[in-house]
Structure 1
């Protein structure tokens, strides 16, 4: 059902509406109806944006911090690996005992990482350093 409305428009807006309505299949009512519907939809979108703006800003800051931490971690790891590879000589293939010790150390390392991930503890957490001193 359509409701009749009596509106007053500025002369320049009325002229522009008249020019748009001269095309085939166009009429003033449909043009005004569609324009008003679009405007109302954008207004509702703006209200939703205002509601989420603070939360999205906080999430963006948190994500930027995580990005920075990952970059520091990757750079530290790459420097350590480069240092380790340049300082440590490779083990000879015939030295089975040294390779067994290396495998055992690597397994211990993996177990420690798995344990800390499961417990939710971090080596670089400042609170962990305080607890270690106790």
Structure 2
């Protein structure tokens, strides 16, 4: 059983009509099959354009958001690197026998790591808030 076919009357420019005649003259080809394939391909491209129209704006927004996240990450890394460089430049290294200073530094570092863990676990951000550490 073949699908129902509907007759259409088309007006084509002479150069296009001549090309269609040449293609249809080949064995196993027909004007109807060639035009059916051409119209189907055109309609499929049109459908792809509708998908682009529908999702293009959303994809553009997601791309912009990812760009902002990447930029923020670079800012954070650069900030941390500059802070570490600054801290290393202004603080003299501890003497080998300064056990009290090293113990205090280790305690401060542990407190720092604990606070970072709390902030991340709670989903809080220090930068961009009214009060630091909140």
Shorter chain as denominator, the TM-score bin is: 0.7 to 0.9
C-alpha displacement of 1:115: 0.7
- Aligned with 2:81 (options 73, 78, 92): 78
- Aligned with 2:111 (options 104, 108, 111): 108
C-alpha displacement of 1:97: 3.7
C-alpha separation in 2, matches of 1:84 and 1:23: 81
1:88 and 2:91 correspond: yes
Corresponding residue of 1:65: 68
Bigger helix share:
1
1:48 and 2:78 correspond: no
Corresponding residue of 2:42: 39
Q: CA RMSD of the aligned region, Å? A: 2.8
Q: Could you list the runs of 5+ residues in structure 1 that have no partner in the other structure?
A: none
Task: Note the alpha carbon deviations across 1:4-52, whole angstroms, 9 max, x for none.
Answer: 5333131222122233445565543333222222211111111121112
Name the count of aligned residue pairs. Answer: 131
Q: Could you list the runs of 5+ residues in structure 2 that have no partner in the other structure?
A: none
C-alpha separation in 1, matches of 2:118 and 2:127: 15
Corresponding residue of 2:22: 19
